Amino acid sequence: MNFEDDIQKSLKVLQEGGILLYPTDTIWGIGCDATNTEAVRKIYSIKSRTEAKSLIILLDHIDKLEIYIKKVPDITGDLLASITNPVTIIYSNARKLAANLIAPDGTVAIRIVKDDFCAELISRFGKPIVSTSANISGFDPPIVFSQIVDEIKSAVDYTVTYKQDYFTRSKPSTIIRLRDDGMYTIIRD
């Protein structure tokens, strides 16, 4: 299967409210339409994870933040440009997302992807995609595709073939909590 085939099949699954197993700019992830509450619920179920523990949202471009965040802090662009690793930022005042993705305090974690597959998929889908590590809650996230357990593989609607044979060691993104006033705290480096 090639890149374009995987994009087309992934788009169909997302549009139908299904769940993907796909490569991200960090590690393999489980994803769905970030505006579809039922699809998000399925991901929590697959992972055996409580909805009180938030998931990450992926976007393809910084300009789209203003759709899903009421006020994007001025420092955001500089902050993203200054960090070379993939970085997830927790923003206040989330909106237009599935309610079970927004934390009780109104925050949401968003990463602007640099990965070619993710960026293309999100761009064509036209909405953000959920990204959470492809593991059962409480277990280590898989570093490569071959480490993903069958329980996860059999629970999704489509598994992307692109990059399944990549063996580069990846790690989760840096996580930063960014306040509306531009002050920030590094949560995970």
pLDDT at 1 over 80: no
pLDDT digits 0-9 by tens, 64-107: 999 999 999 999 999 888 888 899 999 999 999 999 999 999 99
Q: Using pLDDT thresholds of 50, 70 and 90, give the confidence band for residue 170.
A: low
Segments forming the whole domain that contains residue 62: 3-188
The fraction of the chain above a pLDDT of 70, given in percent, is 97
Number of folded domains in the chain?
1
Burial class (CB in 10 A: 0-12, 13-18, 19+), 133: buried
Please state the three-class secondary structure of the chain as a single string.
CCHHHHHHHHHHHHHCCCCEEEECCCCEEEECECCCHHHHHHHHHHHCCCCCCCCEEEECCHHHHHHHECCCCCCHHHHHHHCCCCEEEEECCECCCCHHHCCCCCCEEEEECCCHHHHHHHHHHCCCEEEEECCCCCCCCCCCHHHCCHHHHCCCCEECCCCCCCCCCCCCCEEEEECCCCCEEEEEC
What is the domain-level CATH number for residue 30?
3.90.870.10
